[in-house]
Amino acid sequence: MNSNKENGRPFTSLPNGPQPKHKLNHIVLTDQFVNREKLKKEILDTHKKLTADSFIDKRKEEIYFLLKSAIMPNLKGKIYFVGSCENHIWIKNSDIDCCIVVENCEDKNSYLYILKVIKSAINLIYPSLTVNIIKASVPIAKIYREQNNICDISINNTVAIVNTKLVSSLCNTDERVTIINRVIKYWAKQKNINNRSQGTFSSYALFLLTYYFLQNLETPLLPPYKSIERENASSFEINSEYFFLQDDVEMPFYTDAGDIKSKLDTPRKNEDDVSKLLYGSSCRNGITLDVYNNQIIENKDMTANIFCPITKRIVNTYSINTWKKMFQKILAAHERLKGGKSLDVICEETKNTTPNRKIDLKDHLLRRKIFQGLHEP
């Protein structure tokens, strides 16, 4: 990674064809592209399809009751829903992820012990359910009803709680933020590049790419992170389970939609429709994305290093080979958008037939180790 910080660069799109232009370090979107009205309708139709009959709130209520009845007699803790089921970017059939915050539980072995207690309790009360414990870097318990994974449980994954709240708070400010991120997430899933455990994009990394883009439009749709950060953010203890066991947890950033909107430093409201926003969003090769300082820095390893604005740590790392394949899919999607292809065609599901998957994963794990200790880009 290049340790010399360069001047911040705005989020740019791809070469050839009508492209966003940059004026005073802001992105000026183009509306000169093929089938704009058709694309707008397709985006809204896809968004509707992805959210129809999901019953997400009902499913969360059922999971909460299940966990509360199985866990609370045995453990003192607090249940948080995290990830897409809580941050507004869920899609139909999304998993339910939750984090249980428990006091005096600070290492992997303790997490595994608590998950085994939860497994025993669920097996006793709900014998029709199956619980598998995955000994990952962040251990999880996967709950199955028949063959369906209905919930993933982690312990004291407090960073996920905070990240989820950031995403949901920003999505609450404008429906277009939710729509664009949901469509991008769906496309990434269809292309097999939205699975952090396999070395591809996490949903949070995808959101941060979009967040950077939306805050740097000529007329921003979202304010920069620094402008929504609370004055006392430095005192926020993101890894303290005791903090998250409180009744009222104040995040290190503003969460009210009105407060966030008031931080938009722009003389007029953004009126860009979803087709312009989707067409203008893209990604560059060989970047370090520093959302906190609102800048992109070139790096030499030709992958992408995306830093969380809250923890100042890399969200997830990519092997060079995996990044190359992901970036090729991004390029291909943009070329199809330019050519007026339908969103259904662009989002067609592709099977993962990569012959070097194990090699890619090994490289990914090695890179993750290298970057584990880095705090700031």
**pTM across the whole model:** 0.86
CA atoms within 13 A on the CB side of 58: 4
Question: What is the dihedral angle through the alpha carbons of 337, 341, 343, 349, rounded to the nearest 10 degrees?
Answer: -100
Cα separation, 116 vs 114, in Å, equals: 5
Model pLDDT, residue 368: 54
Sheet holding 295-298, edge to edge: 295-298, 287-290, 304-307
Q: What domains can be seen in the chain, in order of their start residue?
A: 21-50+160-371 (1.10.1410.10), 56-159 (3.30.460.10)
Cα separation, 142 vs 31, in Å, equals: 45
Cα separation, 360 vs 198, in Å, equals: 9
Cα separation, 113 vs 91, in Å, equals: 32
Cα separation, 326 vs 342, in Å, equals: 20
Q: CA nearest 74: which of 122, 107, 112, 144?
A: 122
Model pLDDT, residue 354: 53
Neighbours of 231 (CB within 10 A): 7
For 190, residues 6+ apart whose C-beta sits below 8 A from its C-beta are 347, 348, 349, 350
Task: Burial-class residue 217 by CB neighbours within 10 Å (0-12, 13-18, 19+).
Answer: buried
Tokens of 27: 């992105």
**DSSP bridge pairs for 140:** 134, 154
pLDDT (tens place) for every residue of the chain, 377 residues total = 333 333 333 333 333 444 444 444 578 888 777 788 999 999 999 999 999 887 899 999 999 999 998 877 778 889 999 999 999 999 988 889 999 999 888 899 999 999 999 999 999 999 999 999 999 888 999 999 998 999 999 999 999 999 999 999 999 999 999 999 999 999 999 999 999 888 999 999 999 999 999 999 999 999 999 999 999 988 898 988 889 999 889 999 999 999 999 999 888 999 999 999 999 887 777 789 999 999 998 887 788 899 999 999 999 889 889 999 999 999 999 999 988 999 999 999 987 655 444 545 555 455 555 555 444 44
CA-based torsion, 253, 254, 260, 263: positive or negative: negative
Q: What is each CA distance from 262 to 173, 228, 273, 287, in whole angstroms?
A: 10, 9, 21, 30
Tokens of 181: 């991120």
Residue position matching structure tokens 């995955």: 134
Cα separation, 125 vs 368, in Å, equals: 39
H or E segment and range at residue 153: strand 148-155
Cα separation, 192 vs 186, in Å, equals: 10
Model pLDDT, residue 314: 94
Model pLDDT, residue 300: 79
